[in-house]
Structure 1
Amino acid sequence: MTVSNLRKKVHFASIHDAVKAGDVKQLAEIVESGISINEVDVLHKFTPLHWAAHSGSLECLHWLLWHGADIMSVSPGGWTAAHIAAIKGQDACMQALIMNGADLTLPDDRGCSPSHLAATHGHSYTLQVMLRSGVDPNVSDKCDWKPVHYASFHGRLGCLQLLVKWGAAIEDTDQNGNLPVHLAAMEGHLYCFKFLLSRMSSVRQTLKVFNDNGENAMDLAQRFFKDNIIQFIQGTDFEGDNRSDQETLAFPGHAAAYKGDLEMLKKLVENGIININERDDSESTLLHKAAGQGHVECLQWLIEKGADVNITNKAGELAVDAAKRFAHLSAVSLLVGQQKYEVEENDKIDNQDVKFFERHGVEGSTDVRDELSQSEAEKTDARIRAYEKVVELRHLLNIAESNFKQLGGITEEDIKKKKEDQVSERVIKELQGQLEGERLRREKLECQLDEFRAEASHHRTSLDHMRLSSVSVDEESSDSNKEKRKVKKKATSSGGILTRRS
């Protein structure tokens, strides 16, 4: 008997336990038995939706949302399911909640939105999902702390980089006059401190800025005994920093992966300073940097820690592509073995072929997450159920659209097609107008060409007449000369010898 079969036979006593285990079948059975879909547990006061977001039970979360679970339900601390997903870094669940209308601006009892909590716990990918959905990167809590303040205070460099990229104001102060750089200094987060200084308009002026207590970054570092900050401020000539130094300050994890500095890489990742799938300005990950230089040990460690090999950079390259480009064969061999999903030319989804659903590993999927401890067979079953739901909903959508059209309705596709037809007609009319204009222009040019040809023919005729008259004159002149020569010849040959008189 396999472990998978043993797990499937477990009977869960409550709806919350079924959700935490990711067992959607037992979830459905429990709800059908009469248990409320919004049942609150006794200990944590969480609903099933809260627990789905907490454990990353994506299939259960979708099922709950489809069957009317309250997406705005809050725990005693004011947390919605979106707050929980932000705390736990469940980016797939966060995406599902956003698509189903979750309010990401709703504050908890401390005034924190989900973006504050994601920045606090260092979940940069979850934070990116929220920022892409339109969340304000400069939202404030009750203490005027923005997500950048939380990221700086807790040393979450990856989130700090992401927030700055999305327009977060690092020169805004909290209610005590603290800049994010002050918070990084008082907590001794050197990498965040360096990054913030590299992004300020004037480093020297930033170091001189005082908070409401009259303390600058050096004062705070001294008061809280942060020797690393003190030594950095005392020993660095900031105005002499060049661009390459600033890039190293901004992305130390990428610099370590590029150099093959595994110890530094471990320190940054294991201490939560950066995320394992952190991206730089070109959207390259740590894997890209290590693969491009052929640092196999770094690649092995990153893969063991769960780095996603399917992430592409701005150029559309995977980490394995970077390794191939520089002919690092060991790195290529290692990364190719991790590629779990490749689209073939003639690949088609076949719901009768179970093996198709066994392939996985696409970017953003929940396959690599180990919270639920699901077997490969259970993951395959979940994918099959999800695809069957896609087929079912497509069929229902086709029926609904057909009914809507028969009732005289116009679908969005019809409106879009009509607009496209109107645009096409307008373009055709414009082209026809241009064609007519070109036709008239051509006729005009042809008339001018005929006139020029007639004029050229007239000039040619005149030239021929002139040539003929010139030839006749030459002939007459030649005849006259001949007559004169004849007369002269006769005169000289008439007889006698001419003598000269003295």
Structure 2
Amino acid sequence: MPGVPLSGPSSSSTETATPLGTRKKVHFGSIHDAVRAGDVKQLSEIVERGISINEVDLLHKFTPLHWAAHSGSLECLHWLLWHGADITQATTRGWTAAHIAAIRGQDACMQALIINGANLTVQDDRGCTPLHLAATHGHSFTLQIMLRSGVDPSITDVREWKPVHYAAFHGRLGCLQLLVKWGCGIEDVDYNGNLPVHLAAMEGHLHCFKFLLSRTNNAAQALKAFNDNGENVLDLAQRFYKQNILQFIQGAEYERNDSKDQETLAFPGHVAAFKGDLEMLKKLIEDGVININERDNNGSTPMHKAAGQGHIECLQWIIKMGADSNITNKAGEKPSDVAKRFAHLAAVKLLEGLQKYDIDDENEVDEDDMKYFIRHGVEGSTDAKADLYLNESDKTDARMRAYKKIVELRHLLEIAESNYKHLGGITEEDLKQKKERLESEKTIQELQGQLEYERLRREKLECQLDEYRAEVDQLRETLENIQVPNVTAVEDDSSCESSKEKRRVKKKVSSGGVFVRRY
């Protein structure tokens, strides 16, 4: 973008290399050169000599904070913020440090600025916020950091362009699909009545064009939609000689419900890496359609996809382009882990040679152990390339200074909290503990009340049970008294019946006999 200067210190304050490969330190003449070189020691010395921490350089009208965000000097940026640098100061074009970080894709610096209260809704002289600029330059991870901070993505510039319009116009597919995922409308028009799909067709960004069509409610209607000049996407493609758009509209049949097609539209770089299509991958990345460290829905980068299939040529080119091999997906896997899982030994060997900073979780932090500060994980920006060159020794020193600062601040915090408590102050931790104690006491009282209620209820039920038992015993006695006379009467009746039966048998036998007369 015009107006953004190239990084690096001025020629009068650069560092020279010795034949052995070590760099010789030089003394910088201005605070801006020290920040651009990432030399926090000289930065502090220059400020101690009385130079203003918000001094503006004559050429670019940048403050030291602008230069820190520009070059990705995270340590200097933290130092400047800690010592009261003005985070709201803008250049002649209206750019704050957050605008510069968005343009350069310095996501680590952007995160630091957001934590320190940077206003992401500030607009420059064209009405652009940092969101617009990150979408313009295709820095999707920086864009995601800003979206997660809660900034409104529907702010418009002077042309009524939203970030989604910039992403479509410049062919930034990764930013476009990220904005759509966060709920940005793709059916909003600018001051000329152009939809984002019009802008993609106008510039011939076929991947963005397909993706936008796949996300519209009615693709046929989107193709027929007219802007304020009475032009639809076909008219714009013809006027600007975008043959790829014309061929797609006129010849290709659009299948909206194909899930594989949807994945290709959303993450064409990942698909190219998965298939080993190096030419397509080169075109997508070199044309700025996607970022080389672009994440898909599973958090995987193109390097993960290529590693999973063992495409060595793709991996070599991705590594050469400066991709980060330490990024993990949602499963916590690095590209080398994915290659191991699929037993691609050549890919494993290639990728493991890059990971020089893996930390052993069993090792504890030892500030006197130099090796701990040599081993390190992901650092700096995943969007921007290494604008600020620091050798391993400089990085190790910076990590040691940062860790010692953490220890010092923790100690000071403990002292301050102790003094505050002795003076009768109540800390947030005390308030939290008091609140938890009150809630616990309330819960205990409620449980005790419920226990007392259950005890009384049990006693009542036991009394009722005793009454029922007594009543059962009384009924049982009454029943026994009723049953005894009945049994006696039954026995008498049965004896009578048996005697009658005997007499009846005797009669039958006698009546059946034969009498013989004797002479």
TM-score by length of 1: 0.88
Greater RCO, 1 or 2 (C-alpha within 8 Å, sep 6+): 2
Partner residue of 1:210? Answer: 226
Q: How far 1:455 sits from its partner (Å)?
A: 5.0
CA change 1:204–1:384 in 2 (3 A) is same
Q: CA shift at 1:122, angstroms?
A: 0.8
Aligned to 1:105: 121
For residues 404 and 410 of structure 2, what CA distance do their matches in structure 1 show?
A: 10
Task: Tell me the secondary structure at the aligned position of residue 381 of structure 1.
Answer: helix
Q: CA deviation at 1:435?
A: 2.9
Moved more, 230-239 or 466-475: 466-475
Q: 1:375 to 1:281 in 2, by over 3 A?
A: same
> 2:424 maps to which residue?
408
Gaps of 5+ in 1: none
* 1:263-315 per-position Cα deviation (integer Å, ceiling 9, x unaligned): 22222112211111212233332233334444444344333433334434344
Identify the residue that residue 93 of structure 1 maps to in structure 2.
109
Deviation digits for residues 245-274 of structure 1 (CA, Å, limit 9, x no counterpart): 223212111222232322222221122111
1:313 aligns to 2:329 (yes or no): yes
Residues 324 and 423 of structure 1: CA distance in aligned 2, closer, same or farther (over 3 Å): farther
Check whether the contact 2:106–2:384 (CA below 8 A) recurs between aligned residues. no
Which residue does the alignment assign to 2:77?
A: 61
Cα offsets for 1:128-163 (capped at 9, x unmatched): 111111221111111111111111111111111111
Query: Which structure 2 residue ranges, 5 or more long, are not aligned?
Result: 1-16
> How many Å apart are 1:126 and its aligned residue?
1.0
Judge which range, 378-387 or 477-486, deviates more.
477-486
Give the direction of change, closer, same or farther, for the CA distance of 1:396–1:35 in structure 2 (3 Å limit): same
| Contact 2:293 2:383 (8 Å CA) reproduced | no
Equivalent runs, 1:386-425 vs 2, <5 Å: 386-425=402-441
Say which SS state the counterpart of residue 238 (structure 1) adopts: coil
* Separation in structure 1 between the aligned mates of residue 506 and residue 211 of structure 2, nearest angstrom: 123
Q: Does 1:32 align with 2:32?
A: no
Shift of 1:201: 1.1
The one-letter code of the counterpart of 1:201 is N
Tell me, yes or no, if the aligned pair for 2:142 and 2:383 is still in contact at 8 Å. no
Look up the equivalent residue of 1:427 and give its one-letter code.
T
* Whole-angstrom distance in 2 between the partners of 1:283 and 1:92: 18
For residues 360-371 of structure 1, what are the structure 2 equivalents within 5 Å?
A: 360-362=376-378, 370-371=386-387
Distance change >3 Å, CA 287–CA 363, structure 1 → 2: farther
Instruction: Check if 1:235 corresponds to 2:257.
Output: no
User: Residue 13 of structure 1 corresponds to which residue in structure 2?
Assistant: 29
Distance 1:482 1:168, change over 3 A: closer
| Shift in Å, 1:386 | 0.6
Q: Are the structure 2 counterparts of residues 366 and 158 from structure 1 closer, same or farther at C-alpha, using a change threshold of 3 Å? A: closer
Provide the residue aligned with 1:143 in structure 2. 159
Counterpart selection for 1:176 from 192, 196, 212: 192
What SS is found at the alignment partner of 2:23?
A: helix
1:76 positional shift: 2.1
Identity of paired residues, percent? 70
Cα distance in structure 1, aligned partners of 2:67 and 2:201: 36
Distance of aligned partners of 1:276 and 1:436 in 2 relative to their CA distance in 1, 3 Å threshold: farther
Distance 1:141 1:407, change over 3 A: same
Please say which of residues 297-306 and 327-336 is displaced more in the overlay.
327-336
Root mean square deviation of aligned Cα: 3.3
User: Closer, same or farther in 2 for the Cα pair 1:87/1:487, shift >3 Å?
Assistant: closer
Amino acid at match of 1:398: E
User: Does the Cα contact within 8 Å between 1:4 and 1:378 map onto a contact in 2?
Assistant: no
2:118 corresponds to 1:118: no
Equivalent residue letter for 1:189: H
Hey, what's the Cα distance between the residues in 2 that align with 1:26 and 1:5? Answer: 22
CA distance in 2, matches of 1:466, 1:319: 92
Return 441-450 or 185-194, whichever deviates more. Answer: 441-450
User: 2: distance between equivalents of 1:368 and 1:109?
Assistant: 24
TM-score by length of 2: 0.85
Kept in 1, the 8 Å contact 2:107–2:381? The answer is: no
- Residue identity in the other structure for 1:137: P
Q: CA deviation at 1:182?
A: 0.9
What letter matches 2:34 in structure 1? A
Aligned twin of 1:265: 281
Give CA-to-partner distance per residue, 1:200-229, whole Å, 9 cap, x none. Answer: 111111111111111111111111111001
Separation in structure 2 between the aligned mates of residue 386 and residue 106 of structure 1, nearest angstrom: 31
485 and 157 in structure 1: CA distance in 2 versus 1, 3 angstrom threshold = closer
Sort the Cα spacing of 1:491 and 1:248 in 2 relative to 1 into closer, same or farther, 3 A: closer
Contact 2:300 2:330 in 1 (8 A): yes
Aligned-partner SS, 1:431? helix
